[in-house]
Every structure is written in structure tokens, then in C-alpha cells.
Chain A
């Protein structure tokens, strides 16, 4: 299964990529929302997206709203991974269509549980 992590921090992309690989999946990386949109338009079929909120250019929430309006991508579950930890932010993201919400800092165990939950309990 192919997943996509979108974060302007290379370290966060590596952390998420490592967790995804442990669970037997592949993870593509995008350092901006625009790069992610280009990847989604490419040949790879993405089945889960990890999304940062605060990024230069298009932010995570704008990206989420964009793909949820697109018939081709709106079914892809999105896990928001962010330092935005205020209740109003979580509500806004849920209303916009995130499947899971994880706040930084997180442990690798928490992250893996969210991935498994997002896949309906399915692990390779």
C-alpha cells in the first residue's frame, strides 16, 4: 500500500516514513501541499495521507479542503499530524474531513495505532 506524508520538516517525514515501513507499507514524501497535489496527479495510487497543518504556501487545511472537493481523491483518508492542539483546530479539521488527528509530540506507538485505525485494523 502506498501512503503519502506531507510536511515541510524532513525529520517528521522520516519519522512517519519509518513507522509506515515497519507496518509493511511504502511512504512517498512531499515537502509542500503543491508537491503533494502533483504527486496525487501522478501514476502512484495513494491510499493514506499524513498531513501537517502549518506549511509555507498552501497550508494543510487548505490542502484538505481542496482534495475533499475532488472526486478522484476525496475518498483518501487523511491523518492530520500537527502542533495545532487547540480544541477549535481539531473541530475545524474534523469538519473539513480528516479521518484521524494526532498532535505533536507523539510517540511512535501512538502514530502506528493511528495508521492501523485508519486502515481499518489492516496490517501487512
Chain B
């Protein structure tokens, strides 16, 4: 197929939104709208945290839950109320169908009901993440890991199960600064990235990978994240003490995808394809709509864009760092030759995406 071939041009999307209800037990089956007259009264005090740009107020009468959360976010604790914070409530729910399950609410709405104590913290995290899109309307939000080096940002946008948290964790241990393993918060005015340095959520399939690069996982409790399985929540400062950057420009965008191979494959993608892929993993496309094209279009215009099939974790990091060091942002990411054809050569994703075969839909 020639480079000019149009036979491989298309993917289609709808907006992506945070899936706030696919963990734990379905609320509809647990009397979501019933009046819970026997719930334990919540504690009067709310513990407030400022986790980068995300402000959270946790209210719970369950001391062990509060202690767990504080163990992860103690360094972000602030000693005063934060009026605009995401309000998280965790309590026990004693109606006949819940039978003592834990109920997790954000901003007054039920998010999860989980039966086991070890399911609580990851679902609290999940509930907060689901509320971030609504609580930070000033940011354009992309589902991505974000790290920085030398005052510039690397964005790793991907859907769940792509290995981005593991990749982020390894990059942090190799000297990168952590901004988030889940959210790229883009300021539409400056196009800079702001941090949300939440705990890095490592799924059980990656436990051995982290242990392989020296992270002592026995220091971290194992939690149950429902359909996502066993996870551990790791504070990025435990991976390597560092200062969280407050605002960095995007220098590189790498779309990671896990592949069971020894060596990674990394290849440039055109800016248009990168823009499309970013739309595909956007949390706030429905709010920004056409403006999203301008924001993300400018982001990719100033960035080098690649697609990565991860192999061994260190080989993948080597490949990223080599490109980071070598690539001048304005030159990489899919130039155009005199004939108007993209100049980066083989294996561009569009050559493998055939109409009807590679149509990807993400439901709002």
C-alpha cells in the first residue's frame, strides 16, 4: 500500500468519560436510593488534602479508613477547610441489602458500595478520580500518565490496562518527576501540565515488574479493586524522593500499549493522528467540544509524538529517554514532504488501521 493510500485513514470515536460505576457492586442492586436510617453518623471533622490541583475533603467515622488515606496523602494534608474540595464520605451502610457494606460517596452522590474493607481505599481513589472531571472544569483532562524532566513534560495517554502506571513508576525511579499516573491536566491558556500526584495504582500483573526494579511491595497493603483485581497503591515519593513540578509544557507525547515482547517498538506518529488519539482518551471532550481541537492541536504542534509497544520495562524507558534526549520537539512527529505526504516511514498506525477493522468506539 502506498504512503498516499487512503485505505487506512480512519478511526472514529465518541467522547470518553470516567467510568465511575464499574467497580464494586452495582448500586442499583444495593438499594442506591433507599433512605439509610441506620448509617453510622459521619465524623464531624473533614480531613482536607491538596493533591496537586485536586482538593479532597475526606469525612469518615472509620478511623482505619482515615488512617489509610492519610498514610497515602499525609504530605498533602492541609490544616484548614477547602471550600471547593471534592467531598468524599465513607461510612457503613446497614440497610438490609447492604448488610454492613462500605458506602463511598463524593459530593453527596453514592459512587460505590463495597463489601470488603480491603476494597475501600482503591474505590475511594476511583471515586475521587471520577469526580475530578467535574471539580476541575478549568483544565482539559486526558487519561494519561505524566512525568517531567528538566522542566518539560512527557505525556503517556492510554486506556486502562495499557501499562502506563507501571511505566510511570519506572520512569520515576529513573529520575523523572511525577505528576500523575491517570490525569494529564492541561491548562487551556498556557497549554502547560499541572500535577495531580495521586498514589500510583499498580495492578497485580505488574507486581513482579516493580519488584524487578527494586520496589519493596511488601511495604504496601494489597487491596481489592473489584473487576480490576488486586492492586497496591504506592506513593510516588517512595519510588524516589523528588519535588513535584507545578507546571510544565508538553515536550513529548507517547501512546503506550502493552505488548508481550522482549524489545519495545517505538515509532513516530503524525500530529493529526496524535490529536485524534488524544481526543479518544479525553475526559472532558464533551465540555470543551470544538475547543478541544484547538487546545490539543496546539499541544501536539509543539510536541514530538510517538506510539510505543512496550516490551521489557527498562528497554521501553531506554527508548523513550533516547528520543527525549535526541528529538527537537518542532522537528519530530510526522513531517510533510513536498508532495504533501507524511514523511515518517514505516508502520505508521494508519497503515494498519483499515476501515471497518480498526474502528474504535468509546461510549460516553
Chain B associates with chain A? no
